[in-house]
């Protein structure tokens, strides 16, 4: 299909125009635009006035063409060993990178083991050696994070948090969930029409992350708010990240001892483990609710073993995080939403099919 074009309306005001009006050279105008100094106070002020009067907006193309520097962004994330959650985050980062690669922004990804402080420190070291122009990170291990951000602040390197926020640190932006609130939502989904005096099983992390803990808090807060604790029996158990057979034994034991389990909520992303168990033992009529759209979770959502999954847009977190840095650095744009919480998405069998966030994605 041939592409038609219309003439460009020559309305934009250029540096040259400013220079002509101010009766100075483009060089001088450029100096005041960028506060490079070396301009007489008189000229300085006069040109500034003209600049704003004529509403000068630099042409980004020309700017980027003329500038010879590029921006190196470092990304610090957990490895994606335990489910593809972090892969989704990286996908979003990749999409953002594509959009800004033409603006001389490059991205380097560093990963660490989310259960191993030392690996975080090591990655943080590497990051410092990279000497990036900006950093995007998931702040695991508060102490280490503080150490790192202090260095970054010293070097005037801006950084953005995703996944969870750290109080008292002046980051450029935070894009992530409100875990407490998402636990609250999960409770709502769990409790609507759950048979009274039945048992609800809460499953947590053996390793214990801040995020799952907060979700649980939110969940319990809902029960309390609507005074539901008395009507149900609440059971609590921790499962391990990798020991499947042990987990299965644990679940079997629980179900043997409790015949009235009607609801299971898993606060981390491994509801599929529970679903595996339920499916294998043909346990029906149990409402399973979990987090994060891992493929295995989605499968169980679609076949009805899992009732509901709460999601928090991992892709979007990565995308927005990187874009915030890129816009801040390459476009000199201020970040208008320094703190932005991800929507708490409620996914059911019935609405999972149309749930995609990026139509321009490759897959």
Partner DNA sequence: CTGTTAGCGCTTTCAT
Partner DNA sequence: ATGAAAGCGCTAACAG
Residues forming contacts to a copy of itself in the complex (CB under 8 A) are: 1-9, 59-62, 64-65, 68-72, 102-104, 131, 133, 155-158, 173, 175, 177-178, 181-182, 184-185, 188, 192-193, 222, 320, 323-324, 327, 329, 335-337, 340-346, 348, 350-351, 353-357, 359-362
R_g over Cα of the chain = 26
**Does residue 3 bind DNA (CB under 7 A)?**
no
Q: Which is nearer to a copy of itself, 276 or 292 (CB)?
A: 292
Q: Which of DNA, a copy of itself, none is residue 102 near (CB under 5 to 8 Å by kind)?
A: a copy of itself
Q: Which of 58, 106, 217, 357 binds DNA (CB under 7 A)?
A: 58
d(CA 182, CA 312): 9
Q: Which of DNA, a copy of itself, none is residue 16 near (CB under 5 to 8 Å by kind)?
A: DNA
Task: Supply 155's token pair.
Answer: 């070097």
Q: Which of a copy of itself, DNA, none is residue 231 near (CB under 5 to 8 Å by kind)?
A: none
Q: Which residues contact 266 (CB under 8 A, 6 or more apart)?
A: 203, 239, 273, 274, 288, 289, 290, 291
Asked if 92 and 315 touch (Cβ cutoff 8 Å), the reply is yes
**Does residue 9 bind DNA (CB under 7 A)?**
no
**Does residue 359 bind DNA (CB under 7 A)?**
no
Q: Which of 6, 7, 9, 23 binds DNA (CB under 7 A)?
A: 23
**Does residue 21 bind DNA (CB under 7 A)?**
no
* Least distance to a copy of itself, CB of residue 222, Å: 8
Asked if 140 and 78 touch (Cβ cutoff 8 Å), the reply is yes
Contacts by residues 117-125 (CB-CB < 8 Å, ≥ 24 positions apart) = 117/141, 117/144, 120/144, 123/76, 124/76, 124/148
Asked if 270 and 290 touch (Cβ cutoff 8 Å), the reply is yes
Q: Which of 20, 21, 26, 188 binds DNA (CB under 7 A)?
A: 26
Task: Supply 181's token pair.
Answer: 């609130």
Q: Which of a copy of itself, DNA, none is residue 323 near (CB under 5 to 8 Å by kind)?
A: a copy of itself
Q: Which of a copy of itself, DNA, none is residue 226 near (CB under 5 to 8 Å by kind)?
A: none
**Does residue 34 bind DNA (CB under 7 A)?**
yes
d(CA 74, CA 152): 12
| DSSP calls for 135-172 | EEE---SHHHHHHHHHHHHHTT--EEEESS--TT---S
Q: Which of DNA, a copy of itself, none is residue 37 near (CB under 5 to 8 Å by kind)?
A: DNA
Which among 17-25, 111-119, 192-200, 338-346 is the span making contact with DNA, rule CB under 7 A? 17-25
**C-alpha dihedral over 91, 92, 95, 100, to 10 degrees?**
-130
* Least distance to a copy of itself, CB of residue 35, Å: 11
**Does residue 181 bind DNA (CB under 7 A)?**
no
Q: Which is nearer to a copy of itself, 156 or 245 (CB)?
A: 156
Q: Which is nearer to DNA, 104 or 188 (CB)?
A: 104
Q: Which of a copy of itself, DNA, none is residue 155 near (CB under 5 to 8 Å by kind)?
A: a copy of itself
- Please state whether beta strands 308-311 and 345-347 pair in parallel, antiparallel, or not at all (unpaired): antiparallel
Q: What are phi and psi of 13, to 5 degrees?
A: -95, 130
d(CA 71, CA 103): 9
């Amino acid at each position: 299909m041939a592409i038609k074009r219309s003439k460009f309306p020559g309305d934009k005001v250029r540096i040259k125009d400013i220079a002509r009006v101010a009766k100075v050279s483009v060089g001088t105008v450029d100096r005041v635009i960028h506060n490079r100094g070396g301009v007489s106070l008189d000229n300085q002020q006069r040109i500034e006035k003209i600049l704003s009067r004529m509403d000068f907006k630099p042409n980004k193309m020309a700017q980027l063409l003329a500038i010879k520097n590029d921006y190196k962004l470092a990304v610090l994330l957990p490895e994606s060993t335990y489910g593809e959650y972090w892969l989704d985050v990286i996908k979003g980062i990749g999409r953002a990178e594509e959009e800004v690669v033409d603006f001389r922004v490059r991205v380097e990804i560093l990963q660490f083991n989310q259960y191993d402080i030392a690996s975080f420190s090591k990655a943080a070291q590497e990051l410092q050696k990279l000497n990036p122009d900006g950093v995007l990170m998931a702040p695991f291990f508060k102490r280490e994070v503080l150490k790192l951000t202090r260095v970054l602040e010293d070097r005037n390197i801006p950084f953005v948090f995703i996944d969870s926020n750290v109080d008292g640190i002046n980051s450029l932006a935070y894009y992530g969930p409100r875990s407490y609130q998402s636990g609250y939502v999960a409770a709502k989904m769990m409790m609507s029409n759950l048979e009274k005096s039945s048992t609800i099983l809460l499953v947590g992390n053996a390793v214990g992350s801040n995020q799952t803990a907060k979700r649980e808090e939110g969940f319990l807060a809902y029960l309390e708010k609507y005074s539901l604790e008395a009507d149900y029996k609440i059971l609590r158990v921790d499962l391990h990240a990798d020991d499947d057979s042990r987990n299965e034994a644990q679940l079997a034991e629980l179900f043997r001892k409790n015949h009235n389990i009607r609801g299971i909520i898993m606060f981390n992303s491994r509801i599929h483990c529970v679903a595996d168990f339920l499916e294998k033992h043909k346990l029906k009529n149990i409402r399973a609710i979990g987090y994060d759209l891992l493929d295995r979770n989605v499968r169980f959502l679609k076949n009805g073993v899992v009732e509901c999954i709460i999601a928090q847009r991992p892709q979007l977190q990565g995308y927005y995080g990187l874009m915030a840095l890129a816009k801040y650095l390459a476009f000199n744009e201020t970040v208008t939403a320094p703190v932005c919480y991800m929507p708490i998405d409620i996914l059911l069998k019935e609405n999972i099919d149309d749930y995609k966030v990026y139509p321009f994605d490759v897959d």
